[in-house]
Structure 1
Amino acid sequence: WLAGLLDPERVATDEYFGGTEHVNGRMSRFVQRGVARFSPEVRSDLAKVIMAVSAEGSLPAQVEQDAVQQAEIEEGRALISGEEINCTRCHTFRDQTEGDVGPVLTGWGSRDWMLGMLHDPTEERFYGADNDRMPSFGAEKILTEDEMGLVVDWLRGDWVRQDSQGH
C-alpha cells in the first residue's frame, strides 16, 4: 500500500488521494513532483523507508519478512529524516520532526495506531482539521470499541483463523 502511495503515477488516483481534497495537497505534490525526480539511488533508499514505516505496524503477515530485512529496516529508519527523503519535514517519526502536517508515522499501521485512526481521524496525530471525510467511528459512536477492534484485526490480518476442521 505504501509503495503505491509513494508512486507518482498512482498517488492522485482514486486508490489514494484522487476524489479527495488532498489530491492537490502537499503529500500528493511531493510524490508527483519530488519522488518523480528521485535518482535510482534515492528510489532505493525510498524502498528502505517504506520497509521501515511498514515495519512499524508489526503485521502478522510480515513478521518473518521484517526479521530477514532488519538491516534494511534500520537503514530506512535513519533515512526517514534524511536530507533527500525527509519524511519528518511533515510527519513525526519517533522523536524526529520538523513539522506536524501529516499523520504521525510512529507505530503506523499498528493495532493501536489503526484503532486511534478509526476512533477519531481528526486527532492531531492523524489528520487534525485537515481530515477530508473519514468519520470518527468511535468519537461519534458509530462503532463500539469491540466493533472497531474487529475491523482493525481484519484489516491487519490479526483475526483468529479456524483450522481445516472448522475449529
Structure 2
Amino acid sequence: MTAFPCKPAALVALAFLAGVAVAQAQSTVADGQKLAFDRGKGNCLTCHVIKGGDLPGTIGPELKDLKTKYPDRNELTAIIFDETKRNPQTMMPPFGRNRILTEQEIGAIVDFLQTL
C-alpha cells in the first residue's frame, strides 16, 4: 500500500493541469516579449538593448540577467509600474501609474524579462 493512494483519473487530471500551467506560462512569456518589442505599447526597445530585439536604444541599461539582479519579481514589477518612486530623475515612463500598461501586461513583461 502506498502512502498517497491516487486513482488513475486523479493522476490524469493532475498531469493535465500541469500541462495547462506550463502552456499558460509559455503564453505569458510570449505575450510579454510581444509587448516589450511592440513599438506602440511596451516599447522597451526604444531605450533598452534586449536579446532578439531590432534597433534597440541605449538610453537605459541592457536588459539581461534580470532574474539574478531582481530575484523578487515584485521589485521588477514596481520598476515598470512607476520607476519614479525609486528614482525621481528617471527617464523611464511610469507604465502602470499612467495606465500605459495594465497590471496583467506588466506581469507578462516581467515573466519575459526573467527569461533573459
TM-score scaled by structure 2?
A: 0.40
Q: TM-score, normalised by structure 1?
A: 0.29
